[in-house]
Amino acid sequence: MSEQIAFWILSAIAVLGALVAVRKRNLIHGVFALMIFFAALSGLFLLLLAEFIAAVQILVYIGAVGILLLFAIMLTERVAGDDGRRMTSRGWFWGLVVAAAVFVVLLLPAIQQWPTPEVTQAPDPSVEELGHKLMNPYVMTLEVLALLLTAALIGAVTAAQGMRKPKEEGSPE
C-alpha cells in the first residue's frame, strides 16, 4: 500500500518538474526544474529496489548533466528571459498533432491489455550482479564506450583551447 502512495507522489512531482522545465521563460529556473524531475526519477528507481541505478541517476544526471547545462547557460546572454521576446514558432499546430499521435501509440498496450512478455527470471538488481554482467558478456561495449568518451573529452579540450590563443609565447609557467 505504501509503495502506491509513494509512486503516485513521485510521478506527480516528475510530471510537474518536466512541465515547469518546459514552460519557464527563465533558463536557470528551467534547469533547476529539470533537476527536480531527475531526482523524482531516481526516487522511482528506488521504488523498484534498483538503488545502484538510482545513485548513478543522481550522480550522472544531476551531478554531471545539470552542471553541464549550467555551464552552457553561463555562456549565453539574456538568461533571465525577462526581455519580452515572445517565441511563437509558426509550426505549433503540427507539433501538437505529432504529440497527440505519440501519446496514443504509448497508450495502446494499456488499453487493449496486450499479452505482456513473461518475465523469465526476475532480474537481480543488486550491484554485484551488475558488475559481473558488465565484465563478462558486455566487456567489449564497456571498452568501446570508454574510448568514445575519451575522444569526446579530447575534442572538447581542443575546441576550448582554440577559442583563446594567448599570443605571448614566453609567458611564465
Partner 1 sequence: MSSATAIAPNYELIQQDGLETSLLEVSMGPHHPSTHGVFRMDVKLDGETVVDLQPVFGYLHRNHEKLAENMSYLGSMPFTDRLDYFNSMTNNWAYALAAEKLVEIEVPERADYLRVIMAELTRLVNHVSLVGFFINDLGALGTPLLYAFREREKILDLFEQASGARMMCNYFRFGGLRNDVPEGWLDRARDVVDHFPVFLDEYEQLLCENEIILSRTQGVGCLSRDLAISAGITGPMLRASGVNYDIRKVDKYSIYDRFQFRVPYTDGNVGDCYDRFMVRMLEMRESIRILKQALDGIGDGPVLGNAPKVFKPKPAEVYGRVEAPKGELGFYLIADGTPKPYRYRVRPPSLINLTVLRDMCLGQKVADAVIILGSIDIVLGEVDR
Partner 2 sequence: MSLELIRDILVATVPLLLIFPTLFAFTTWLERKALARIQNRIGPNKVGVPLTRYGGRFSLFGLGQPMADGIKMLFKENIVPRDADRLFHLLAPILALIPAMLVLCFLPIDFPWINNIQDSVKAFMLDGAVIFFFAITGLNTLAVFMAGWASRNKYSLLGGMRAIAQMVSYEIPLVLSAVIVVMMVGSLNAAEIANAQAGWNWFIFTPWGLAAFIIFFIAALAETNRSPFDLPEAESEIIAGYFTEYSGFKFALFFLGEYIAMFAISGLAVTLFLGGGAGPGVAALPWLSVIWFLVKIFALIAVMIWLRGTLPRLRVDQLMGFAWKFLLPLSILNIFIAGSALHLLAGGRLAGLDEKQPILRQLMEGANPLVVAGLWIGALLILYVAANGLNQLSRAKVRPREYKYAE
Give residues in contact with partner 1 (CB under 8 A).
75, 163-168, 171-173
Least CB distance from residue 92 to partner 2, whole Å?
28
The one of partner 1, partner 2, none whose footprint includes residue 81, by CB under 5 to 8 A per kind, is none
The one of partner 2, partner 1, none whose footprint includes residue 2, by CB under 5 to 8 A per kind, is partner 2
DSSP secondary structure, 59-115, as one string = IIIIIIIIHHHHHHHHHSS--S--S------TTHHHHHHHHHHHHHHHHHHHHHT--
Q: Which is nearer to partner 1, 90 or 164 (CB)?
A: 164
Quote the CA–CA distance of 121 and 137 in Å, as a whole number.
Answer: 18
The one of partner 1, partner 2, none whose footprint includes residue 166, by CB under 5 to 8 A per kind, is partner 1
Are residues 49 and 22 in contact, defined by beta-carbon separation less than 8 angstroms?
no
Q: Which is nearer to partner 1, 117 or 166 (CB)?
A: 166
Q: Which is nearer to partner 1, 132 or 164 (CB)?
A: 164
Query: Mapping DSSP to helix (H, G, I), strand (E, B) and coil, where does residue 4 land?
Result: helix
Are residues 2 and 25 in contact, defined by beta-carbon separation less than 8 angstroms?
no
Q: Which is nearer to partner 1, 132 or 167 (CB)?
A: 167
Provide the CA 102 distance to its chain's centre, in angstroms: 20
Least CB distance from residue 162 to partner 2, whole Å?
18
